[in-house]
Structure 1
């Protein structure tokens, strides 16, 4: 259901919605579900395509940084739109949230009247369920027609022609290396391209991964002209995957090594036992005792990013395997036994060149000593992505690559130290600084954090904070007065640094 149609529904109109950000992202945007929540950490629980309704209560008491992170996390999760109710609790939507929504392409609506969210969800979601059933039925009909063509001896191009003809799209099946395996146009022709849909310009392109026995064998691309529902095209593409997999299996069955690699990545993703990982790793071509590092990418375009990631890994490390699961794309990089840490650092750098959509996030896990530690490295990469938005620390490279080693203190604390004990430690160590920031709206904690992270290099910290050196000295002196003196050369330095790292954690 189009976002524009959802907004015209009487239950939504009763809330008097006003578009406040990202108007260019509204046309053609699909809504998969309507959900309401006051939980600020809701993004990891969403699948993408939701219209999220918020009453604004939690946002009203959140810090400016948390409000901005909330918007960015939702955009990164592929949420269709965010609608926030304003009123006595939240009189207006903060400007920083509007800027973040605009820059991340997330439509943000203000609901200027009180309307029951339950009623909106019941009405819209019932329509969406009905539409989904209809789309699935149409998709199954197309899949059955493709199966019939395959059963009667049709080749890959003939099967694709059925899909193209019944969806009105131009379709192309591409190998992970970028080679065209087969194609068909909506007019029955054998080509797919930007004007392959009967001479009409392409309005949207849908990509669907086609695995064969768990191994990525191809990517199906469907180019639809103006007027064809992208949701229908996606469902048709997804329902055709099994038939296309059978056609590909007849043409190019995967080898045992590829099958073992796919099974290994599923085991890594699910956190299997080390002995199982070692068994699968050996079959997949990994050195059982060789160093490894996990890579995790969270993106609404995880499936489309997989071929590009595979190419980067092939050029960067001796051996690798990857796996796409919903909004997560994961990979395991086998690193060389000599120069291992340099190879990992180089991998982090080159991953920064991966062209990912706005709102995506990449993390590289810590070094694992053997395939048996692959699941641990992956779990720590995932933990890094969960913790990173709270810390506010910049990532490496233009594409926000997070190095799990740079978050080792936060990872250890989140896993091993009780939340109450963490907060108690921070309060006892940084209490006067935190009170000063809260009462005077100052930035002493941020200043201290940057200074400590720079190795107590005052000149470097001043540059990062865009401060004159004298202003930096004044700030530091104020911090020292509040913390009991200059910590350099004392045993307090380590504790102070740890407290600044733990302060942003919940």
Structure 2
């Protein structure tokens, strides 16, 4: 992460200590033999010890100073074992004080340090160990002050950016500039809405990051997380309340320190507030969309078009595809926000709104109906779709889409597919069977009590166009027997079976009671 604003402040590293002329330190290791960035590792503290094994008293990120009294020249492995222990403990540099106990640095110690990647530097007799510790402490304090000063300056810049006309976009751009990092804003569906700089990510990195963001949004809980994609570190911060996330801010380019995280936290708060402030306006837009749909269902397309044109622009051109999303699900609210963004991108070709607790989407001629598949893939909804509708018969298309959603089994079910089974397919529902069982209950009770076969006789008679002759052949009885059973059934049902309407209702009851679904 770039430390914008404090480029002149030295970090507490061995390289910085070596540059201090007053300390007179000299690097004893070969630069070529050291690991990359070995001299730039942060030194969190400086400690001195002549113990053979000081590691129980050390912490990682520390530079150790010694005069070498602990080394046994008669044991060649003592140097190697000593350096191995330091390397495992996380010591980042070893300083050897010369002319105190020894005239110079032992060659075996030099080789052990080079073997295990720990920079070794010489501390001359004229330089006290405490001067090195003090110099490092001063560097830590100076860096801390510089970072706090940078954080205050960055906060002021962010606050001024938030006052600009495009406050949210300007704030994100300023955050990117201050951190020297890529910053992206993902919307509620996981789509990349804004990024700074514009060409900041490769296509593969952007795809992987988008997958991770969508995974975070699907969990629908406030969270912060970190990940690495193709050698780049990213941190993610959700926007909005748990259960109603409005997006994610992603920052790429390195790890954030405490001041950087504080700046990001303030931007997340600003962004969340800006999005919340849009809620009242969005609620009004939602009500207006609902009013447009009510006018369409009331067969007043001219009023609907006038209402929509003032705020949303022209309505889509026929022929229309009318889709209704399943209601009563937590996905409806984030789906509406996602559709709001899509509607802005496809102005004049797409309209949506809520009507009777359902979410209605209308696509016009030439619109890409892949949006239907995207909706079902990103959100937990099913769609019923009426095709080739016009504004004048919108209420009919609405009813067809509602039926397609109710009767279909696929994520996207069209009325044309659902209606292939004809009106008989509607009988195969639990409600229809309940009515059917109630209608046929008198016949069944009579048959059970008298041991008769009125139900089978009436069913066969209706199935054979009410022909006594044909029914008799099917049942292997005399036609007078069939006639007598039908007469008896009229008495039991208290209905006149000579009437077409009565016959049709009874036939529908038998169809529904059978429970077979026509496809």
Structure ID, larger Rg: 2
TM-score range, shorter chain: 0.3 to 0.5
Q: What TM-score, normalized to structure 1? A: 0.34
Q: What TM-score, normalized to structure 2? A: 0.33
